[in-house]
Structure 1
Amino acid sequence: MDSETAVFRQFVLKLHSRCDLACDHCYVYEHADTSWRGKPLKPTPATLRRTARRIAEHAFAHGLPEVRVVLHGGEPLLAGLGTIRLAAEALRSELGRRCALDLRIQTNGVGLDQDFLDLFEAHRISVGISLDGDRAANDLHRRYADGRSSHDRVLRGVALLRRPRYRHLYAGLLCTVDVRNDPLAVYAALRALEPPALDFLLPHATWEQPPLRPEGPGSTPYADWLGVIRDRWLAEGRPVPVRMFDSVLRTLDGRSSLTESLGLEPADLVVVETDGTLEQADSLKTAYDGAPATGLDVWTHSFDDAAAHPGLADRRRGAEGLSATCGACPVLRSCGGGLYAHRYRADTGFLNPSVYCDDLKEFIGRTAERRTAERRGTPDPHPAAPTDAQLDELAAGPGGAGVVLELADAERFVNGLLLDNLRRRAAGDPAVAAAWELVLRLGDEAPDAVEQVLGHPYLRPWAERALSGRRAEGTEQPADPAGLAEPAAAMALRAGAAVEVPVPVRDGLLRLPTLGVLRTGAVDRVLVDAAGRSVTTTGGERLRLDRDEPRWQPVRRAALPAAGGLAGWTLALEDADPERDCYRSEPSARLNADELACWERELIDAWRMVAVGLPEYAEGLREGLSALTPLVGLPGGRLHSASVRSAFGAVGIARPGTPELLAELLLHEFQHVKLGAVLDLADLFDRGHRGRFTVPWRSDPRPVEGALQGTYAHLALGDFWRARAEALAGPAAAAAARRGDRFLAWTAEVCTALLESGALSPSGVRFVSVMRATVAAKRS
């Protein structure tokens, strides 16, 4: 949850300490660390079993629903079939059914043959292959010790992996960048192998051993090289996930990174060497001899002991663990200081920007500029209604990541319009005009910061109240257009802009959307110093916006790990923002540490159920759900959740006490969230229709929108409980199947009533017809 949380969810298990290639850019054998010389070639059976037991011990102690283990080296295939089989069997035996195992192997591919692939298929081991592009690019570094090319052998291994029998094991390709290679030739060669995912790795370097820069200091060859591929990839419509590019785009939107080399998410990885010693990430081998060492091993230490190691703890401090240069950087949220190892300098350790700082700043900045230009370049500035294909995709139930992201973009646009309307409403108010000018300026200088705040779910409820002059529940003051300074200040803080923003205080609270709430006491106005991350009250008191200030209540986030083949993400637990009180249900007070931990544990388990059982729903959920507000429970422990049309990306839920029920409520409410966004863009029914519909899930007849919303939600619940039936056994499975069938029957019944009512528009008829056909196919 917070940066101090000491939990490992990824384990790198070394199966061999030597390699059959002699890559001259290898961080294990060619950089500063020489510890490989003293390691046994491969782990003993006892070491493998002990490691598996320690991983299970850690997973069970922290209630982890899934862990990822990557079999690595050197070259792990050199360990042989028997060692790999023993490692897989030991891990699955120890973890059992209490914790799912995402087991992978990262190989250079030269030794990959059918015997290995049969073993990987039997033990559900996904395969990632390291390949640097076409023959010329790959053989620049990846050769045998005698200078022979490895390219043909690797392609032969990839060809085997791409056969229909084994293709489900194909995890992707990893390419190390060399700016002397032709970027488009590299990209084309990798794409030709039809990888399910790609990643690009900056060559490991430090301030002591800087990377190759053919044009000398001050140039940004890595940003230029990656930018050529990024532009082609975007022009092609992002045909394959590229972890580095996707991470930049996600973090620009305020979401989590997918890689430890970018973003501010805490490190959750530990390495087990062939002798059972525990080490930090392998990339540290490029810093100095012994840099990854912890002095710990699986025989006498737990993974909790490793998590407490100062080096690993330092990598969980987020922005607070970075240099002053990084802290003032406008792309901090996306860059995160770069890879930890790349910050090393002998005199100052790791408290430096990345040696690729200029490249990262340039690449992230250009990516943000391109994204903003594309969004602004559309001929119609208003968001378009969903296409027929998008409506069909959503009506079938899930709605993939792409269409959900389009809905999120549209909702940000709506929020921007509302702020502009507020500015117009308050024409003549110099404070409002100044706040709006700041928003416009930051839109040019730091568009990612503006986009993040515009995507805050509770921005629109406040703006709509400010436009109408209504008062929120439990507050004494109506919403005031002068509050436009709140999002403007939040944008400036996210951008690290050198500005001071006067912000009005409401009911003793300074609200900074996406960041948190500061309890200021009885003052009317404060001055926010964005670059200094501090606030000065009218009484002259200066307050820091950091964890050392007890009156500062930052937004806290649950870290939801990778599951079911989907990348992890973070979900804000909004328990301080006063605008969360928009559900006609009482929001809970600020969560204490125990409540926070309970929420995170149950959210992790609920997310895994959805990701594993319904990955098609999970993709959209991960991209579109940004916040959850805990609600006060109802008497008798009845299930209780809510969503509102004006708060896209957020749901309110009273903690139900089991991950299964929490997963049900998340899916239920997110269906409402998606359909609400569709209804903002398209008329699915006649808004003048006054008829009511009898629905089987409520005693009171529902208006057309209520019937449509309920039908869409129950479609997802039918899918969820059917998936649960497949995951369970015995009476529990039968009960889940009956529940799923009941929800689908309800959906079919009300779809028919809606189609026969005459209340639907042509788009609505299409939408409900696809829903009904989808249910009919599931029930046949």
Structure 2
Amino acid sequence: MVPFRQFVLKVHSRCDLACDHCYVYEHADQSWRRRPKVMSQETIAWSALRIAEHVKSHGLDQVAVVLHGGEPLLAGPGRLLAIAEALESALTGLCRLDLRLHTNGLLLDDHFLEVFEEKGVKVGVSLDGDRAAHDRHRRYADGRGSHARVLASLARLRARPHLYAGLLCTVDVAGDPIAVYEALAEQEPPRVDFLLPHATWEEPPPTGAGDWLTAVFDRWVADGRPMAVRLFDSIESTSRGGPSFTEALGLEPSDLVVIETDGAYEQVDSLKSAYDGAPETGLDVFRHTLDDVAAHPGIRARQRGLDGLAETCRRCPVVDSCGGGLYPHRYRAGGFDNPSVYCADLLQLITHVRGRLRRTHELTSAQLGELAAGHGGAAAVGALAAGQASLRRVALTAAAARGPAWELLTRIDAERPEALAAVLAHPYVRAWAVRRLAGTAGEAHLGNIAAAAAIRAGVTATVEVEVREGVACLPGLGVMPTERTTISTADAWEPVRRLTAGGLSVVLEDTDPYRDCHQWTPAPRLTSEQALAWQELFAGAVEVIGREHPAYLPAMAEGLTTLTPLSPPAHGRDTSSAAREAFGAIAATLPADAETLALLLMHEFQHVKLGGVLDLFDLFDACDTRLFYAPWREDPRPLEGLFQGAYAHLAVTDFWRARRDPKGRERFARWRDDTAQAIETLLGSGTLTPLGERFVRGMRESAAPWLAEAVPAEARRAAQEERARHRARFDRT
């Protein structure tokens, strides 16, 4: 038996709206007419007792109770307080109580909110989107719309964000999906539930729900997922083998029961849309335990998983996500052994979402916000790295010739996928694949990738490889000295050198032939003394960052995998670089001191992070070919170049901000103003996507406070003079 963990208490059976899509009043079941309007104190007490009895019997650590209706606020604040206290009294010491209420919002005033504040009741509100969509159905009996009053209630609820559970939106394909989505997002809900209008094969819904939801999903993803959406999150979770978060999807057994105002136990109340009496069990809280309810055939029917579905559903390729859809939506005269009446729509949506999952990885809205601010935590950069892993796999698959090396890779991927994943984590694998697809690199390097994976997997094999200067590079692993192009993975090889300090460990990459993707010439293989010099300076740089800029270290520890030495350029200045096709790698000349290397690492890792974001999201119109003034370059830059420079100079400015010497004050004064100017240029470009504008506004929020910081007049003057000289040089070119 599956114990119940979710309980819906119908605390009031009437409503102050006359919504024409309501399954309680407008569909087949009309049992509300014979029930008491409000749940009595006796029914409340028995309900609390039965839930506590069930918790003890099954050792449950948490239950969720939703106060529902009709409209639960019609019960009044006093009755709702009594219900909360009865549940609290019955369950304290037994389990955690997740107490929620769902309302149409019309009566939600400060009196109610004080009760909910006292008892920790989270509140969900029904909102169908913009005024046109909402007032099409959610009207008073006299035909007036309720949208304005709901928004006023939401304003009060949003002032207590810890009580704000989210929004429920009933889908109406007659409405504009994007207008609905934008209206919901404007209310900043922590979660949105999209509810397909209740329908059956006897009374089918209008077509088009799949198109409607797909449009909303694409916009939600493009916006960086600003709130949880239970429907979309459930599809993604079940597609990865995880749980569903809604009874409308997935194969998990139902663990929900409804208690009506008269104490009757019912199955999921949306069954009221099927036929009169459909949700009834004939059981009640006064005479029956919840274990009695769990034995009811209707409850059992919703707990059989795949075995409880129609044959058509069991053969469906998305059944693990769909789960046959919501149980009431399967009804046809004679029973529920049918696919959902929304079968085609669910197939369309799930297939679309899964296609997106295969193409890329996504970041949460919060993670994007962290990155926009200039830092980004380990989880955010980890998500970028996961996206890069997918991109490298796709690029490798596209670039690889089918042959022995490919067969070895597919075998390792099947038997030891972690070994291949470790090799694909090396930045220059993608650099080779990109060049191979462009026709500027040979296919032999695939053998080097396969050999590295085989060594990591402990697989002995003979592989044809690319050999340069007497060594075969094993990406991310080391080199194998050889003059032959055919090697055995059992032969001796030399591991790469690593730089370690302060929780960071990166490959000191001086052998990979595709490390030349940076704009500067890579240094030849280092001597032991040169490698030691890098280690000493790297340790000092990490110490500087940890002491003066600790917010940057978690992201670096997660995403910085490789440091590539560069040959000193003819101009003799410190040089560094990051390459878009080599996420995780930074290239640099060896500077004179640890402080300079710290600056170079902070600067270039900004480019690494933003490159990872741009690989996943469109932040601007790539067709915009205009060139812009960049305060740190002598040449005009395309929009992406200006974007990259502004983002990198958030870290550059932050670095100099910590320096209190005259040089540091002057650099801070210059770069804070120039970075702020570049950010305003981006915002005024007219070419940012909505997500791009949000990202750049996050950059602005980080840079804006710096403009108010006091800087010595001499430093400000020197910065202004240097800025003027730079602009004059630019204008002359």
Equivalent pair of 2:400/2:406 in contact (CA under 8 Å): no
Equivalent pair of 1:415/1:454 in contact (CA under 8 Å): no
- Name the residue aligned to 1:138: 134
**Counterpart Cα distance in 2 of 1:282 and 1:238:** 30
Whether 1:354 aligns to 2:332 is no
- Name the residue aligned to 1:426: 404
- Name the residue aligned to 1:399: 379
Equivalent pair of 2:409/2:420 in contact (CA under 8 Å): no
Whether 1:369 aligns to 2:355 is yes
Distance change >3 Å, CA 64–CA 456, structure 1 → 2:
farther
Whether 1:234 aligns to 2:214 is no
- 1:249 pairs, out of 228, 232, 236, with 236
- The code of the aligned residue for 2:55 comes to A
**Counterpart Cα distance in 1 of 2:190 and 2:213:** 19
**Counterpart Cα distance in 1 of 2:54 and 2:375:** 40
**Counterpart Cα distance in 1 of 2:389 and 2:111:** 51
**Counterpart Cα distance in 2 of 1:336 and 1:312:** 16
Report the 3-state secondary structure (helix = DSSP H, G, I; strand = E; otherwise coil) of the residue aligned with 2:44.
Answer: helix
Distance change >3 Å, CA 389–CA 344, structure 1 → 2:
same
Whether 1:121 aligns to 2:117 is yes
Equivalent pair of 1:281/1:292 in contact (CA under 8 Å): yes
- TM-score of the two chains, using structure 2 as the length reference: 0.56
C-alpha deviation, 1:387, in angstroms? 12
- Name the residue aligned to 2:167: 173
**Counterpart Cα distance in 2 of 1:174 and 1:455:** 44
C-alpha deviation, 1:104, in angstroms? 0.8
- The code of the aligned residue for 2:218 comes to D
- Name the residue aligned to 1:191: 185
- Name the residue aligned to 1:68: 64
Equivalent pair of 2:5/2:64 in contact (CA under 8 Å): yes
Whether 1:59 aligns to 2:46 is no
Report the 3-state secondary structure (helix = DSSP H, G, I; strand = E; otherwise coil) of the residue aligned with 1:199.
Answer: strand
**Counterpart Cα distance in 2 of 1:428 and 1:124:** 58
- 2:76 pairs, out of 77, 80, 95, with 80
**Counterpart Cα distance in 2 of 1:301 and 1:456:** 53
**Counterpart Cα distance in 2 of 1:259 and 1:454:** 35
The CA deviation string for residues 356-393 of structure 1, in whole angstroms up to 9 with x for no partner, is: 111111122233334545679xxxxxxxxx99949986
Equivalent pair of 1:68/1:102 in contact (CA under 8 Å): yes
**Counterpart Cα distance in 2 of 1:65 and 1:262:** 24
Equivalent pair of 1:121/1:169 in contact (CA under 8 Å): yes
C-alpha deviation, 1:250, in angstroms? 2.9
Structure 1 residues 666-705: aligned runs within 5 Å:
none
**Counterpart Cα distance in 1 of 2:81 and 2:418:** 48
**Counterpart Cα distance in 1 of 2:68 and 2:93:** 24
C-alpha deviation, 1:21, in angstroms? 1.3
Equivalent pair of 1:422/1:467 in contact (CA under 8 Å): no
**Counterpart Cα distance in 1 of 2:531 and 2:597:** 9
- The code of the aligned residue for 1:196 comes to P
Structure 1 residues 248-327: aligned runs within 5 Å:
248-327=235-314
Equivalent pair of 1:206/1:345 in contact (CA under 8 Å): yes
Report the 3-state secondary structure (helix = DSSP H, G, I; strand = E; otherwise coil) of the residue aligned with 1:399.
Answer: helix
Equivalent pair of 1:411/1:455 in contact (CA under 8 Å): no
**Counterpart Cα distance in 1 of 2:59 and 2:271:** 29
**Counterpart Cα distance in 2 of 1:30 and 1:318:** 30
Equivalent pair of 2:420/2:453 in contact (CA under 8 Å): no
**Counterpart Cα distance in 1 of 2:15 and 2:36:** 13
The CA deviation string for residues 515-546 of structure 1, in whole angstroms up to 9 with x for no partner, is: xxxxxxxxxxxxxxxxxxxxxxxxxxxxxxxx
Equivalent pair of 1:13/1:69 in contact (CA under 8 Å): yes
**Counterpart Cα distance in 1 of 2:202 and 2:505:** 54
Distance change >3 Å, CA 93–CA 135, structure 1 → 2:
same
Equivalent pair of 1:472/1:479 in contact (CA under 8 Å): no
Equivalent pair of 1:465/1:471 in contact (CA under 8 Å): no
- Name the residue aligned to 1:333: 320
- The code of the aligned residue for 1:284 comes to L
Distance change >3 Å, CA 20–CA 126, structure 1 → 2:
same
Structure 1 residues 568-717: aligned runs within 5 Å:
none
Distance change >3 Å, CA 298–CA 460, structure 1 → 2:
farther
Distance change >3 Å, CA 394–CA 309, structure 1 → 2:
farther
**Counterpart Cα distance in 2 of 1:459 and 1:406:** 19
C-alpha deviation, 1:427, in angstroms? 5.5
C-alpha deviation, 1:466, in angstroms? 9.8
Report the 3-state secondary structure (helix = DSSP H, G, I; strand = E; otherwise coil) of the residue aligned with 1:337.
Answer: coil
Structure 1 residues 146-157: aligned runs within 5 Å:
146-157=142-153
- Name the residue aligned to 1:724: none
**Counterpart Cα distance in 2 of 1:111 and 1:388:** 37
C-alpha deviation, 1:761, in angstroms? 11
- The code of the aligned residue for 2:351 comes to G
Equivalent pair of 2:389/2:421 in contact (CA under 8 Å): no
**Counterpart Cα distance in 2 of 1:235 and 1:250:** 19
- Name the residue aligned to 1:343: 330
- Name the residue aligned to 1:204: 198
**Counterpart Cα distance in 1 of 2:270 and 2:416:** 35
- The code of the aligned residue for 1:56 comes to A
C-alpha deviation, 1:98, in angstroms? 3.6
C-alpha deviation, 1:45, in angstroms? 1.1
Report the 3-state secondary structure (helix = DSSP H, G, I; strand = E; otherwise coil) of the residue aligned with 1:175.
Answer: strand
**Counterpart Cα distance in 1 of 2:27 and 2:416:** 43
Range moving further from structure 2, 88-97 or 54-63: 54-63
**Counterpart Cα distance in 2 of 1:454 and 1:70:** 47
Whether 1:95 aligns to 2:91 is yes
Range moving further from structure 2, 143-152 or 47-56: 143-152
- Name the residue aligned to 2:728: none
Report the 3-state secondary structure (helix = DSSP H, G, I; strand = E; otherwise coil) of the residue aligned with 1:140.
Answer: helix
C-alpha deviation, 1:107, in angstroms? 0.6
Equivalent pair of 1:393/1:399 in contact (CA under 8 Å): no
Gaps of 5+ in 2: 363-367, 425-448, 464-502, 510-525, 537-541, 555-592, 606-650, 655-733
Distance change >3 Å, CA 87–CA 231, structure 1 → 2:
same
Percent of pairs with identical residues: 51
Gaps of 5+ in 1: 214-219, 377-385, 440-452, 482-671, 680-685, 694-703, 716-754, 771-780
C-alpha deviation, 1:85, in angstroms? 0.6
**Counterpart Cα distance in 2 of 1:305 and 1:191:** 42
**Counterpart Cα distance in 1 of 2:66 and 2:173:** 28
C-alpha deviation, 1:149, in angstroms? 2.3
Whether 1:35 aligns to 2:10 is no
Distance change >3 Å, CA 185–CA 454, structure 1 → 2:
farther
Equivalent pair of 1:422/1:466 in contact (CA under 8 Å): no
Whether 1:21 aligns to 2:24 is no
**Counterpart Cα distance in 1 of 2:403 and 2:312:** 40
C-alpha deviation, 1:118, in angstroms? 1.2
C-alpha deviation, 1:760, in angstroms? 9.5
C-alpha deviation, 1:99, in angstroms? 1.6
- The code of the aligned residue for 2:187 comes to L
Report the 3-state secondary structure (helix = DSSP H, G, I; strand = E; otherwise coil) of the residue aligned with 1:104.
Answer: strand
Distance change >3 Å, CA 119–CA 421, structure 1 → 2:
same
Which protein is bigger by CA-based radius of gyration? 2
Whether 1:8 aligns to 2:17 is no
Distance change >3 Å, CA 388–CA 405, structure 1 → 2:
closer
- TM-score of the two chains, using structure 1 as the length reference: 0.53
C-alpha deviation, 1:84, in angstroms? 0.4
C-alpha deviation, 1:227, in angstroms? 2.3
**Counterpart Cα distance in 2 of 1:764 and 1:12:** 52
- The code of the aligned residue for 1:236 comes to D
Range moving further from structure 2, 313-322 or 18-27: 313-322
